[in-house]
Amino acid sequence: MAMIKTPLIIPVFLPHLGCPERCLFCNQKATAKSVPSPQAVREFIDVSLNHFFSHQGEREKQVAFYGGSFTAMDQEDSVSYLKEVRPFLSSRRIDSIRISTRPDALHEKALTILKEYGVKTIEIGAQSMIDEVLIQSKRGHCAEDSVSAILRLKHWGFEVGVHLMIGLPGDTCDYFLRSLDRIIDLKPDFIRIHPALVLKGASLETLWKLGKYSPLTLNEAVKWLKKGILRLERASITVARIGLQTTRELEEHLLAGPFHPALHQLVDSAIFYDMAKYLLRNDPNGPQPVFICHPKDLSALKGQRNGNILGLKNCFNLRDIFVSGNQDIQRGGLVLQTKTGGVGIDRKSLSFFRDLSSHVF
């Protein structure tokens, strides 16, 4: 699985600051209540460094401006926030800055300012690469804006993250996978994906109440994401996050949709379930098969509340299933023990390989 050495983030939420309009699905009040002043941001960073990050040693520390369209706000305003971080960069208490913004708000002047003030990482909200979905979601930009933004940001030497959403109005699994393929071709440094949720106060709430929009079910979201994650892993693109983080504000605003506090884990478990099923189907090994995976993958293999084990037992009419961890198996791989050694699947290439006896046992 592609992993990124994530920096320690001090998140500053600037709800809707700079946003030219309100996207259909968005209510940043579900993330943070009010916009902090630049002065308050400075105090917040100082407090965070003193209280939460004082024992974090050499790990990179970033201040992140989230929740709005950073480069679409008045230049004076964005600079006033960046200026508050400058003393922390000079004293090396903070290493760099990250911002999130819209793909159509990255003009040359803005990029020059971001470079000048120490911005290293830019996360852009592409959401979908299908114009029909973008129009229905009232994004106000098209897929080509995202292509152009990613290419320019890479050219300027920024670290680039891309946000995609699934289940927006008009979206389909095929559209999502096509969006993903376009983004993969552009080779961003990382991707975040989250399902569209119906939040109190977002325009989507009205459509949902009128019966004109239905969010994905959790099962559907897992199915789409499973396919997406495997593509990203094959392309060695880091998946920084799947699904939104649980916050009190989100819980207060959530009306409907496939929210799960550990969505990435659910998707990983679903992939392990498919791999185990594939192996059992191709190599039935008696009533008590033994699976081996990397120790860190054991809980994903078992599934939440042992769901995978129970499902496989039912599906194949097995007496029991044993699982064991082995450091020699690479993360994401799965081996089914056989009389002659083992058969396994390497999740990244999804190749099926045999004769692992020398490697595994």
Burial of residue 292 (number of CB atoms within 10 Å: 0-12, 13-18, 19+): buried
Residues near ligand SF4, by CB under 6 A: 16, 19, 22-23, 26, 28, 68-69, 102, 125
Smallest gap from residue 102 Cβ to ligand SF4 (A):
5
Q: Which two tokens stand for residue 189?
A: 């440094």
Q: Which two tokens stand for residue 360?
A: 């595994």
Smallest gap from residue 295 Cβ to ligand SF4 (A):
39
SS3 assignment, position 123: strand
CA dihedral 49, 54, 60, 65 (to 10 degrees): -20
Smallest gap from residue 136 Cβ to ligand SF4 (A):
14
Q: Quote the strand ranges of 178-289, DSSP E.
A: 190-195, 198-199, 238-242, 254-256
In which residue are the tokens 């690469």 written? 129
SS3 assignment, position 204: helix
Smallest gap from residue 17 Cβ to ligand SF4 (A):
8
Distance CA 343, CA 282 (A): 9
Nearer to ligand SF4, 16 or 194 (CB): 16
Q: Which two tokens stand for residue 7?
A: 């920096």
In 3D, which of 273, 167, 177 has the Cα closest to residue 234?
177
Nearer to ligand SF4, 194 or 347 (CB): 194
Smallest gap from residue 138 Cβ to ligand SF4 (A):
8
Smallest gap from residue 100 Cβ to ligand SF4 (A):
8
In 3D, which of 113, 118, 147, 150 has the Cα closest to residue 130?
147
